[in-house]
A and B are shown apart, each in its own frame.
Chain A
Amino acid sequence: MANLFSSSIGRKLLMSITGLFLIVFLLVHLTLNSFLLLDGVLGFEEGQMFNAGAHFMATNPFIKIMEPMLAIGFLVHIMYSIGLTIQNIKARGAARYASGSKTDDVEWSSKNMFVLGIFVVSFLVVHLANFWVKMKITGDPLLHQEASFPFMGAEAHGENAYALVNTAFQNIAIVIIYVIGCIALSFHLSHGFWSAFQTIGWNNTVWLNRLQTISKVVAWFIGLGFCVIAIAQYLFF
């Protein structure tokens, strides 16, 4: 293990593991968000399922532990991405090709991971400011609206997270930022997902194409999933 993380591949391993960890978080988050739309389908009152989910997230000890982990994951991912990107620019040297790069068949996103990452970050900031900060720190009048929902087989009362989210998504500006952020995320992941496996070393001639395809599916499932929810909230709820 000695000085693994001072090597290029070691640092990449950190990118890969944190990236995959963040993907898992995104999937959980997406599941929760999908509750925003599912009340009607499953015969609940509007907001009930989401509030129940949010309550679960807020009270479950496991999730409590994971929260700081998540923050660390983000931080490590971002810090190392800055370090690696700077190193790569240096390794590239000062001179650029006058005739540019005309290499075909190279994923656009793979060349722009850092820029895409910055889009994801800025979106994240907006996201955190709108929801997380209000829920966890400052509080918001909307949260105090009466909310009751089924929880663990009983009727429970808690914060009305749904009201907060639903109101935010009535703001077209927020929806647009949200959509842009999610699309950037999709691009980031359409390369990032298979790249993470490549970095860990889990790849070969047979799996290369498969993973690349799976990567696109996962990426757009996540990104578009978030988008659809936000847009539907804006249009129908």
Chain B
Amino acid sequence: MKGKTLNLKLKVWRQKSATAQGKFETYEVSNISTEGSFLEMMDILNEQIISNGGDPVAFDHDCREGICGMCSLYINGHAHGPDEDITTCQLHMRKFTDGDTITIEPWRSAGFPVVKDLIVDRSAFDKILQAGGFVSVNTGGIPDGNAIPIPKEDADEAMDSASCIGCGACVASCKNGSAMLFVSAKVSQLALLPQGRVEAARRAKSMVAKMDELGFGNCTNTGACEVECPKNISITNIARLNREFLSAKLKD
């Protein structure tokens, strides 16, 4: 078996509820295998807290393979921690060294209020997509899947945009609390495909309006979102969103 073990100090944000005052709590964990994942380290911490009679740290997670977008955590200055193109659940302890102090915080943004400890409320993302992040077709009565050929390049590009997992790291790492990367990923995916093209103008307008209404900030093209995005969503999607939105508005 390869791998070493680490002793670490953890500074973790604890907050009992949305309205409670929060603060950092310091914990120590030892003999953490570098082969384990970050969330497994959190599991070990929680087992330790429970056996000492404490209240375990609440954090969001589900699939633990980087696809559901449920896990969050702002670790040592990075959304999803100090490794590239991955989610927190895919972060492994080999990225840390013995004796490190690790600071673990919830996403911080007005759009994502803290629910408990490290868990935040990201329902604003659902609301934005409800405003138009879909193709308006009912079930059934649909032409054959091959009825409209789609150039492979477009399909591939749409796929890249579609791989957003809705984790919110973009908002969490944006100094403006802007949701443009997230919104642009969905708008781009659907604008690139003939099926979504039909209502592209309406979609761009209503999604942006909802995003503004929910209080997300204005994009200044800083690009931190793109760097911290676990799925490599490019800010050229934002340019496409701007294009779609402006041309839609100019036609009004």
Enumerate chain A interface residues (CB-CB to B < 8 A). Answer: 1-2, 4, 7-13, 84, 87-88, 90-107, 110-111, 113, 191, 194-195, 197-205, 208
Contacts and interface: CB of A to CB of B under 8 A. Distances in A.
B50 interface: no
B236 interface: yes
A92 B110 contact: yes
A89 B249 CA distance: 27
Interface pairs A-B: 9 shortest CB-CB: A201-B243, A102-B77, A91-B217, A91-B177, A203-B239, A93-B110, A88-B176, A201-B242, A99-B103
23 contacts: A7-B245, A87-B217, A87-B218, A88-B218, A90-B110, A90-B217, A91-B217, A91-B218, A92-B174, A92-B177, A98-B11, A99-B75, A99-B105, A103-B228, A105-B227, A106-B227, A111-B222, A194-B221, A198-B242, A201-B241, A201-B244, A201-B246, A201-B247
B234 A101 contact: no
Contacts of A200: 242-243, 246
Contacts of B56: none
Interface stretch (B38-46, B63-71, B135-143, B208-216): B208-216
A110 B24 CA distance: 31
Interface of B: 11, 13, 24, 74-78, 82, 103, 105, 108-111, 173-178, 208-209, 211-212, 215-224, 227-228, 234-236, 238-247, 249-250, 252
Contacts of A12: 218-219, 242
Nearest to B245: A9
A200 B246 CA distance: 8
B72 to A, nearest CB: 13
B224 to A, nearest CB: 5
Contacts of B77: 97, 99-103
Nearest to A201: B243
Nearest to B177: A91
Contacts of B82: 102
Q: Which of B11, B224, B239, B241 has the most CB of A within 10 A?
A: B239
B221 A8 contact: no
B211 A97 contact: no
Given A102-B77, A102-B78, A88 B212 contact: no
Given A98-B105, A191-B221, A92 B175 contact: yes
Nearest to B75: A99
B246 A208 contact: no
Nearest to B171: A91
Contacts of B240: 201, 204
Contact of A201 (B215, B223, B239): B239
A8 B208 contact: yes
Given A95-B108, A97-B105, A101-B77, A9 B208 contact: yes
Q: Which of A9, A104, A203, A205 has the most CB of B within 10 A?
A: A9
Nearest to B225: A103
A9 B108 contact: no
B110 A91 contact: yes
Given A1-B252, A100-B77, A204 B236 contact: yes
B111 A91 contact: yes
B135 to A, nearest CB: 22
A101 B220 CA distance: 17
Contacts of B250: 1, 4
Contacts of B216: 8, 91
B249 A1 contact: yes
Contacts of A111: 175, 222
A96 B249 CA distance: 35
